[in-house]
Structure 1
Amino acid sequence: MLLLLPLLSLLSILSLGSAYSTLSDDTLNGLPSPGDEFDIKQGKILAPILQERVSGTPGSTAVLQHFVDFFKTNLPKWTLEFHNSSSTTPTSNGKKIPFINLIATRDPPNTGVGEVGRLTLVAHYDSKLTPKGFIGATDSAAPCAMLLHAARTLDAALTKKWESSDGLDELDEVKGVQILLLDGEEAFHSWTDTDSLYGSRALAADWETSFHPAMSTYRNPLDSISLFVLLDLLGASGPRVPSYFKTTHWAYKHMAALEHRLRELGQFKSSPNHPKKLAKRQNKKERDEPQFLHEADKGDNGFLGGFVQDDHVPFMARGVEILHIIPTPFPKVWHEIEDDAEHLDMDTVEDWTRLVTAFAGEWMELEGFFDFKKDKRKEYREKTEL
C-alpha cells in the first residue's frame, strides 16, 4: 500500500490539472441553437414538457416517456436507467405516490463499473400540485429541455473523441457525462424535510450503499460524481445567479468566463448589445452588459454558508461537490400560475442552453471534436424528410 501512495497522489494532481480545457472562439460560435425545437407550441424538445406533470399523474408519465423517446431516437449510445421509489405525501391520504428518476449516462467505451468520473447535469421534471393548472416553465421544464439539447450537441463530439484515441492513457482521468432528470422535487403541501425532494432523497440514499467492485477507482455512484450541476428556475429574463459554494467557485468562475466570452462574441441573444438588437436601435452605443453569473470575483470571505434548498441537498450531505445554477432572487413567476410557456424569455432560455452546453464541452475537453457542418447537413436531411 505504501508503494501506491505516490502514484495515487500523482494521479490526483494530474486529474485536477487536466479536468478542464477551453473551447475556441470558432467552436463557441458554432454551437447550434435549439431553434424550432424550443418552440413552446410545437417544438420537439420543449413543448411536450410544458404540461402539468405532478408526480404520479398521467402528465408525469407522458413527460418521462418523452425523455425516453428522445434518448432512444437521438442518442442511442446513452445508457438509460430508472430509479423507482414511493412515499406517502401530506395530500395522498395514506396512498403511496410513485417517484421515477431517469438516469442517462454516456461513458467512454470499454470502461468498467466504478472506473468513470462523471460530470452530472441535473434538473427536476415534476411540477407543483398547486395552483391548479401550474405548468412550471422555469420550474423546471426549460432546464430539462436545456439538458436534452446539450446532450445531443455533445454526443457526436464525445464519440469522435473516444474513437480517435488508441486507448486512454493510464494517467488520464476517465470522464463521462450523466444527466439526472429527477422526480418529486416539489412539496405537495408545504416545504419540509419530508415533504420535498422525494426523488433525490431516495436516489442519494440508494447510491450511498450501492458499492462498486473492490479496487474500483470510485467507491459508489456518489463518489463517481465529479461535479453535480443543478439547473433550476431558469428561463425568466434578467437572472442573477450567485456563487453559493466556496469549494466549487472555481467551476462557477469557468462558467462565468464562458458567459463573458459568449457575450463578447455576440452569441447571447438576451444581451442588449446582441448584433440584431444593435441594428434596430437608432443609438448604436453599447449599453452596460449584464451578467447571469455575476460573482466571478467573489472572494473567500464572501461565502457565508447560505444556500437554496433544492435537489442537491441529499447529495451535498453525502460529500458530493455542487454547482447550483439557480437565480437569487427567484423569478417573479415562481410558484405562480404565470410560470407558463408564454412567460418564458426565449432568448434567455437559449442563452442558458448555449452556456451549459459550452461548459460541458470544456469539462469533457471536446475542442477539435465538434463537426458542426456535418451536424447541419444531418439536421437539413431530417427536416426535408418530414
Structure 2
Amino acid sequence: MVFIRALLSLVSLLTLGAAYSAVSDDTLKSFPSPSDEFNIKTGKILAPILRTRVSGTEGSTAVLQHFLDFFKNELPEWKVELHNSSSTTPVSNGKEVPFVNVIATRDPPSTGVGDVGRLALVAHYDSKLTPEGFIGAIDSAAPCAMILHTARSIDKALTKKWAAGDGADDLEEKKGVQILLLDGEEAFQSWTATDSLYGARALAESWEFAYHPATSTYSTPLDSIDLFLLLDLLGSARPTIPSYFKTTHWAYKNMAKIEHRLREHGLFKSSPNHAAKMAKRENKKKRKEPYFLPEAEKDHNAFRGGYIEDDHIPFMLRGVEILHMIPSPFPHVWHDITDDGEHLDMDTVEDWTRLVTAFAAEWMELEGFFDVKSEKREEYTEKSEFGIP
C-alpha cells in the first residue's frame, strides 16, 4: 500500500512540477513585510507565541487561542478545525496529556471533498518542558508566525484567482493551501519513538483511514497533501538547509531560485550586501552571499537517505512527500534557555517569511492576482538556472 501511494505521489509531483509558475519581479518585490507584527514584545503575530507553551498547560491553551483568533479576525475564509488526542508521557505519572493540532484550510470554492490537492505549511507550536522557562523562539514560535503571515499575504490573491474562475474546470488545477500547527513535537524526557511527535503521530494515524468518497480524486486527507513543507529551527542567523529528499529536490530547487532572486534584488535584509548594511561599510565591495539553500546543484546520486527526525516522520512513513526546512547544523541556541525572542535574528526571520510567501504564491500560481504598485508589470522569464534576470 505504501509503495502504491509513493508511486502515485511521484506521478503527482511530476505534474505539479510542470504546473509550477514563477512570479514576476514586481510581484516578488510587492510582498508585505511583517515589520511591527513581528516585534517580540508587542507584535500581534509573533509576541503572543513567545511564551512557554508546553502541551497541556495554560501557556499552550493561550497560544492555541491566539491562532484561533488570528484566523477568525484575519482569515475568515479559512476553514479551521482542531484535532484532539491524548497520551501519557514519561513524566505524567499515568495521566493523559491533551494534544491539540490546528488545521486551517483554504480550498477553491465549490470543490468536492477529496478533490483538492494541497500545499501543507507545517510547524509545531509546543515548547520544551526543560530547561524551565524555555521559550523556543526558533523552535518553533518564529516558524509559526512566518506561516500565519504567509497565509494572510496570499489570501486576497487566492480569492481573486478563484473569483476569476482560473482553472475552475480543470481537475489538475484544484489546488488549495493547508496549515498544520502541530502540538507535542517535543519530548518530555528524552527523544524516543513514543516520547516525541505526539500530535503528528495522532493526526497522521487518524488521516490514514479517514476515507473520502469513492469517487474523489484523493482517497484520504494524507493523499490530498501534495507537499508537506515543514519549517523548524528557523530564525537564527546564517542557517544552512540541505536538500534532504530526492523526490522533492525539484521543490527545493524552486525555493532556492526564489532565494537567489530575492538576494539579487536586494530584498534579503540578512544579506551582507543589503543596501542598509552596505551603507554602513567603508569597503563597498560585495561580499559572498551566505545562501540559506546551498544545495540546488546537488546531484541525485548524492542523496544517501539521511534525514532529521521531526514532525514529518509519521506522514512520510505513510507516503507523503516532504520538503524539510531545518538547518544542519542546528543553531547554537537549540534547546537552550537562550532560544528566546531576544536571540532571534529578525532580519533572517523576515527573510524566511518573504521566501515562504513567494514559494506559496508560486505553488498556487498567483501571478497577476496580487496588488502590485508598479504600473508596468513584465512577466518573469528564467534566464539562468537559478532564475536570475
Quote the offset at 1:172 in angstroms.
3.5
Quote the offset at 1:279 in angstroms.
1.3
The amino acid of 1:319's aligned partner reads G
The amino acid of 1:50's aligned partner reads L
The equivalent of 1:283 in structure 2 is: 283
1:195-248 deviation digits (Å, cap 9, x = unpaired) = 000000000000000000011000000000000000000000010000000000
The amino acid of 1:21's aligned partner reads S
Query: 1:80·1:104 contact (CA, 8 Å) conserved in 2?
Result: yes
Give the Cα separation in 2 of the matches to 1:286 and 1:368. Answer: 33
Query: 1:229·1:322 contact (CA, 8 Å) conserved in 2?
Result: yes
Query: 1:52·1:134 contact (CA, 8 Å) conserved in 2?
Result: yes
Query: 1:150·1:353 contact (CA, 8 Å) conserved in 2?
Result: yes
Give the Cα separation in 2 of the matches to 1:45 and 1:308. Answer: 28
Quote the offset at 1:301 in angstroms.
1.5
Quote the offset at 1:170 in angstroms.
3.0
Structure 2: which 5+ runs fail to align? 1-7, 374-389
Query: 1:14·1:172 contact (CA, 8 Å) conserved in 2?
Result: no
The equivalent of 2:354 in structure 1 is: 354
Taking every aligned residue pair, what percent have the same amino acid on both sides? 74
Give the Cα separation in 2 of the matches to 1:306 and 1:330. Answer: 15
Give the Cα separation in 2 of the matches to 1:316 and 1:167. Answer: 29
The amino acid of 2:326's aligned partner reads I
The equivalent of 1:152 in structure 2 is: 152
Give the Cα separation in 1 of the matches to 2:167 and 2:19. Answer: 18
The amino acid of 1:143's aligned partner reads P
The equivalent of 1:298 in structure 2 is: 298
TM-score (norm 1): 0.92
Query: 1:139·1:233 contact (CA, 8 Å) conserved in 2?
Result: yes
Quote the offset at 1:371 in angstroms.
1.1
The equivalent of 2:174 in structure 1 is: 174
Query: 2:105·2:177 contact (CA, 8 Å) conserved in 1?
Result: yes
Give the Cα separation in 2 of the matches to 1:92 and 1:139. Answer: 23
The amino acid of 2:138's aligned partner reads T
Query: 2:17·2:250 contact (CA, 8 Å) conserved in 1?
Result: no
Quote the offset at 1:16 in angstroms.
3.5
The equivalent of 1:342 in structure 2 is: 342
Secondary structure of the corresponding residue to residue 115 of structure 2: coil
Give the Cα separation in 2 of the matches to 1:166 and 1:281. Answer: 48
Which residues in structure 2 correspond to 1:224-243 (within 5 Å)?
224-243=224-243
Quote the offset at 1:28 in angstroms.
0.6
Query: 1:51·1:59 contact (CA, 8 Å) conserved in 2?
Result: yes
The equivalent of 2:112 in structure 1 is: 112
Quote the offset at 1:173 in angstroms.
2.5
The equivalent of 2:209 in structure 1 is: 209
Are 2:305 and 1:274 equivalent residues in the alignment? no
Give the Cα separation in 2 of the matches to 1:311 and 1:332. Answer: 21
Give the Cα separation in 1 of the matches to 2:120 and 2:235. Answer: 20
Quote the offset at 1:19 in angstroms.
3.0
Quote the offset at 1:61 in angstroms.
0.3
Structure 1: which 5+ runs fail to align? 1-7, 374-386
The equivalent of 1:331 in structure 2 is: 331
Quote the offset at 1:13 in angstroms.
9.4
Taking only aligned residues, the RMSD between alpha carbons, in angstroms, comes to 1.6
Give the Cα separation in 2 of the matches to 1:184 and 1:293. Answer: 28
Cα gap change, 1:13 to 1:363, in 2 (>3 Å): closer
Are 2:138 and 1:138 equivalent residues in the alignment? yes
1:91-142 deviation digits (Å, cap 9, x = unpaired) = 0000000000000000000001000000000000000000000000000000
Quote the offset at 1:17 in angstroms.
5.4
Give the Cα separation in 2 of the matches to 1:120 and 1:36. Answer: 26
TM-score (norm 2): 0.92
Secondary structure of the corresponding residue to residue 154 of structure 1: helix
Give the Cα separation in 2 of the matches to 1:330 and 1:203. Answer: 26
Query: 2:167·2:174 contact (CA, 8 Å) conserved in 1?
Result: no
The amino acid of 2:117's aligned partner reads G
1:309-365 deviation digits (Å, cap 9, x = unpaired) = 000000000000000000000000000000000000000000000000000000000
The amino acid of 1:231's aligned partner reads L
Secondary structure of the corresponding residue to residue 101 of structure 2: strand
Aligned residue-pair number: 365
Are 2:36 and 1:36 equivalent residues in the alignment? yes
Give the Cα separation in 1 of the matches to 2:240 and 2:188. Answer: 28
Give the Cα separation in 2 of the matches to 1:169 and 1:277. Answer: 49
Query: 1:14·1:171 contact (CA, 8 Å) conserved in 2?
Result: no
The amino acid of 1:140's aligned partner reads S
Give the Cα separation in 2 of the matches to 1:91 and 1:166. Answer: 52
